[in-house]
């Protein structure tokens, strides 16, 4: 089975379409249970494939080395990364000064975690996608290769599945909401073609309901939109229409 690696991934939303098509997916995140032998609560059968949720402190370089050693001889198809944006997103700029006084290197350290995702993909010689909101990555690493809003890919969600299966009260049907998201990609990643839906008017329900600092709201905010996740899978597992980035 081909393998998808997803880093900083607690929810598994990014890899669910891959698992449905028969891929073996591994989601690494510090919130997952620490167990060298994953139990049944950490393995989810989805369609023809599996999602395994594994503990990893990805701010510690040794975990990248461990993942590389495990995966270097495996059939890895792609690396996805969703590094923590707290110290980089421009939406949190009001707190940058105080953070810099406490740790002058706080942003350089945060940026290094994003670059580490790409470096792992380079070592494995596979395509990659690193996702973040509008952030200092654009100046401290490089400009994003692509940007999108979730509603631009809502058309990939079939009729009859409009409502989010886990968070229908928080996420608009068919991802019909705006949220500018940036992607840093490489090694042949294919940006999927857009199939947009009309976004809900006014502030999105995410903006209204997902404020605060709780782990729950952060995890929902950071979950990959279903339509975009499916579009990425279709573009990168077939020869369908796409924009290629090398």
What ranges do the domains of the chain cover?
Answer: 3-244
pLDDT along the chain (246 residues), means of 10: 95 96 96 76 90 95 97 97 82 79 86 96 98 90 96 96 88 91 97 95 59 64 90 83 48
Question: Nearest 5 degrees, angle CA 25-CA 246-CA 228?
Answer: 45
pTM, 2 dp: 0.88
pLDDT at 100: 81
Which CATH entry fits the domain spanning 3-244: 3.90.920.10, 3.40.50.150, 3.10.450.40, 3.40.640.10?
3.40.50.150
As a whole number of angstroms, the distance between CA 218 and CA 119 comes to 26
Q: Which H or E element spans position 3?
A: strand 3-7
User: Among 205, 229, 226, 228, which residue's Cα sits nearest to residue 217?
Assistant: 205
pLDDT at 219: 67
User: Among 83, 49, 52, which residue's Cα sits nearest to residue 70?
Assistant: 52
Kindly tell me the burial class for residue 36, based on how many C-beta atoms sit within 10 Å of its own C-beta (0-12, 13-18, 19 or more): exposed
């Amino acid at each position: 089975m081909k393998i998808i690696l997803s880093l900083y991934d607690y929810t598994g939303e990014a890899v669910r379409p891959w698992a449905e098509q028969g891929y073996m997916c591994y989601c690494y995140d510090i919130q997952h249970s620490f167990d060298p032998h994953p139990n049944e609560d950490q393995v989810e059968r989805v369609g023809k494939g599996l999602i395994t949720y594994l503990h990893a402190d990805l701010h510690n370089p040794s975990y990248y080395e461990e993942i590389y050693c495990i995966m270097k001889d495996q059939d890895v198809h792609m690396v996805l990364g969703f590094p923590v944006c707290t110290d980089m997103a421009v939406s949190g700029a009001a707190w940058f000064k105080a953070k810099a006084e406490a740790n002058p290197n706080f942003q350089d350290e945060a940026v290094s975690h994003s670059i580490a995702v790409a470096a792992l993909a380079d070592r494995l010689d596979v395509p990659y996608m690193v996702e973040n909101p509008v952030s200092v990555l654009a100046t401290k690493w490089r400009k994003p290769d692509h940007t999108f809003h979730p509603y631009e890919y809502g058309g990939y969600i079939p009729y009859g599945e409009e409502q989010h299966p886990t968070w229908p009260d928080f996420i608009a049907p068919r991802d019909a909401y705006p949220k500018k998201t940036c992607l840093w990609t490489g090694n042949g990643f294919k940006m999927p073609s857009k199939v947009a839906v009309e976004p809900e008017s006014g502030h999105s329900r995410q903006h209204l309901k997902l404020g605060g600092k709780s782990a729950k709201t952060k995890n929902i905010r950071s979950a990959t939109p279903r339509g975009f996740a499916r579009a990425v899978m279709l573009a990168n597992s077939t020869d369908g229409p796409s924009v290629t980035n090398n």
